Amino acid sequence: MGERFRRATVIAATMGMALTFLTHGAVAAPGHDERGTYVNAAGKVDYEVHLPPAYRPGKKLPVVVALHGCGMTGFADNSMKDMTRFNRTADTEGFIVVYPSQDPLRNLLRCWNAIEPAHQHRDSGEPSLIAGLTREVVRSHHADATRVHVAGASSGAGLAVVMAVTYPDVYASAASLAGGEYAFDRVKPEPDAVSPVDTAKLAHAEMGRRARQVPLLIEQGSADTTVPPWMAERLASQWAAVDDLAPDGRLDGDVDDMPDATRRVDAPGERPYTRTRYTARGGGPVLIEKYEVEGLAHKWPGGGSGPFADPLGPDMTSIMWDFFADRHL
């Protein structure tokens, strides 16, 4: 009897410990990754999908599409995945991340080609590939189609802006880290000859009947010589004009590029940064949020590994998710 009692006590205690462990969630199960390839008339694109521990078939989670920069991949060597550590944030917050990789046959340097007119329109070129794989992931993983967002770095940032213009019905919001405006090819030869309002009109025309105010986060390093700070200033001005045009097709000042709120943050162990917010003249949600990080070169602040990661904060990945979290179509 004593031995049986002792064994029963041990079993009961073990079960109790297991129950306590599960109840309190001491260690969360890790997420897992899947690979896919999307093909259409424009070519093909390989991608990796990260599914967080919260993922369950039938549970509608948000999606973030993360577009890498030149010389990078989505999920292999020198990857967007390792640089941004989006997976870590996704596991904590409960969203799906998609990492497309540029086909070197389209660009030997693995840059996305958003600066080329052939890749600035709906249903053609790289926009059709990214939108196609996005829809494929949303469909196959039963994600929330109203909470899909796109973020990019450098050339990927340029493409993220293009995606917000060409598919405003697919992406609830967008983020550009060290990128330029839509139709930047018009600006590059002679920046002073083409205003951000001029390129905003092109963006609005491309949006067409789908035109809407797509919330945009802009990040820029003050010491970036690859994508200089004036490009972020132009992007903010362009997007304010796009937001002004979107509701009624008129440039009537309902949204302008004058900041509505500015705050400088200087936290210990991080690079100081200035956050600027823009809203409509009548108030409402933030339409544009811009971060200028002091002393930051052409890198991802608060990044993980790779040549384009800056270990110093701010944690731009978490900031982006905070911006995305409450946005929906």
Measure the CA dihedral 315/319/325/326, to 10°.
160
Residues 10 and 150 in one domain: no
* 113-153 residue pLDDT tens: 999 999 999 999 999 999 999 999 999 999 999 999 999 99
Write out residues in the chain with pLDDT < 50, as ranges. Answer: 1-27
Provide the pLDDT for residue 13: 38
CATH code of the domain containing 241: 3.40.50.1820
Residues 158 and 207 in one domain: yes
Provide the pLDDT for residue 118: 98
Distance, CA of 121 to CA of 271 (rounded, Å)? 37
Report the SS3 class of residue 172.
coil
Provide the pLDDT for residue 245: 98
Give me the number of domains the chain comprises. Answer: 2
pTM of structure: 0.91
Provide the pLDDT for residue 189: 86
Residues 2 and 91 in one domain: no
Q: What percent of the chain stands above pLDDT 90? A: 89
Residues 8 and 152 in one domain: no
* 257-309 residue pLDDT tens: 999 999 999 999 999 999 999 999 999 999 999 999 999 999 999 999 999 99
Distance, CA of 161 to CA of 251 (rounded, Å)? 20
Range of the domain at 279: 31-325
Report the SS3 class of residue 183.
coil
Residues 69 and 155 in one domain: yes
Residues 4 and 61 in one domain: no
Single-letter residue type at 166: T
Provide the pLDDT for residue 329: 98
Provide the pLDDT for residue 27: 42
Residues 294 and 265 in one domain: yes
Single-letter residue type at 143: A
Residue 177: count other Cβ atoms within 10 Å of its Cβ: 31
Residues 133 and 267 in one domain: yes
Distance, CA of 171 to CA of 136 (rounded, Å)? 14
Provide the pLDDT for residue 30: 75
Provide the pLDDT for residue 188: 87
Residues 23 and 118 in one domain: no
Who's near 25: CB < 8 A, 6+ residues apart?
A: none
Residues 196 and 215 in one domain: yes
Provide the pLDDT for residue 29: 65
Residues 75 and 21 in one domain: no
Provide the pLDDT for residue 186: 96
Q: By the 8 A CB rule, do 244 and 196 touch?
A: no
Residues 205 and 77 in one domain: yes
